[in-house]
Structure 1
Amino acid sequence: MEFDLEDPFASFKEHQNCIVSQLFASESDHMPFTNSLTATHSHLSLRCDAVSFILQVQFSCNLEPSVTYLAINYLHRFMSRQEIPQGKPWLLRLVAISCLSLASKMKNTRFSLSDIQKQGYVLEAQCVQKMELLILGALNWRMRSITPFPFLHFFISLSEFKDQALKEALKERASEIIFNAQNEFKILEYKPSTIAACALMSASHELSPAQYSILRVSITSCEYIDEETLSKCFNLIQEMVNMETNESMMDTTTSFLSTETPIKGQRI
């Protein structure tokens, strides 16, 4: 049975249990190979460089976060299957741009090589097309990737919250947490459903502490979730959220201090 990965629960409502089961059963096929998660420092460095480049292109070309998230998903899956030689930064950029090109096609979003060339990167369209085919083959043409986002609605529905505004706020904040976690290498060992569940719990812990325990109980009671794995992933995401908060506070403090005008005659 085919279903829309962007919103798999919107269709076939009469077969929703079947769709949920199929979605959880299929998510491992859209993850990097597990042996790549113990990669060497040099391999990890290559991945970080490629992710940083994709995020840089997102900013310079004003791409939707969903496009870059999908491109990074392709990148991690491809690099877990295909070794990229060190010392060839142009090749790494070619892979990253090809992942972005494929993701933009899947999302039906405009992405032009001319936009990249304006940033000083010269790539021939033919080279990008050849790399796209190599990526497609390595990923067995599984481009309709299962990401954490389709699971957000499912986990929110388990809690049976009545407040629609709260549900939307939780989903929005959880999505933001997922986007911010995409360059964290350690998160790759967790399934998309686990990441989605933990992002929602983190969002609830932040926005509605009174509802947090209700949401956590409903998620841990889900037959597809392993509680121990959930706890480890949640701790990792909380660390990232706390670090994000601390960095934001430091930026605010720095900005405040830089705008302070010393009083005449005051020692600084």
Structure 2
Amino acid sequence: MTEPVYYAPTGGHPGQDQLLTDRAMFTEAYAVIPRGTMRDIVTSALPFWEGTRLWVLARPLSGFAESFSHYIMEVQPGGGSDRPESDPAAQAVLFVVEGAVTLTIGGADHVLEPGGYAYIPAGADWRLHNHAGPVARFHWLRKAYEPVDGLDRPEPFVTNEREVAPIPMPGTEGRWATQRFVDPGDLRHDMHVNIVNFEPGGVIPFAETHVMEHGLYVLEGKAVYRLNQDWVEVEAGDYMWLRAFCPQACYAGGPGRFRYLLYKDVNRHMPLRAGPR
């Protein structure tokens, strides 16, 4: 497999001579957050985290994406947290794109370097610190776990995308492939966070229209992406947030691969009344 490339924001602040026109969009069906909007002025902080700031890319909003949040975390050398999560119902996926962090879960330490992936079940006892030296940046996706009577809860696991082979989509000659970190047949999981890969010229050849909410962070390359009725140019570092049933498709623009980290909610009944599922 070709060596992975990961884009990560570094913040900063544009000069007064920069044009205001940008690709940022927020509509009733989707949002696009270009990488150029991830500046110092839009970072946030969290309780019990030291030497850390974050960009919030997605959060539950009534009438829009409702099931998840998505952060890009930036942890300075020596930073981190012994109390990273304040919600006992929140499960998590971590995906490292720069530097290295030490994740402690179940009493065991795991060093996650670029491409490192961890699933953390709801209620788990975990800690995270940057002991390696350089600034570390990683994605943190959170969703309230929806338990089902008769199904065990999933266990934590740690891996790296280099250990997960891409599975080609049928009839694409490998131009469109997905790295699945969780077996789609494992119904204990109610969210998937995968990596989708397109070779130059690869396409999603129809307008996908489905119940799953999506968060898509472009790790590498560029493409033209269909979002509802619009075609939008996206590049490494951009983020797309799709409401359920928003039509989507894409053309990978080349000259290199187009790859993104993809969130979707799966494997549960649709709620028929207000309140938690």
Q: Normalising TM by the smaller chain, what interval?
A: under 0.3
Q: Provide TM-score, normalisation by structure 1.
A: 0.22
- Give the structure with the higher percent strand: 2
Q: Provide TM-score, normalisation by structure 2.
A: 0.21
Q: Which has the larger radius of gyration?
A: 1
- Give the structure with the higher percent helix: 1
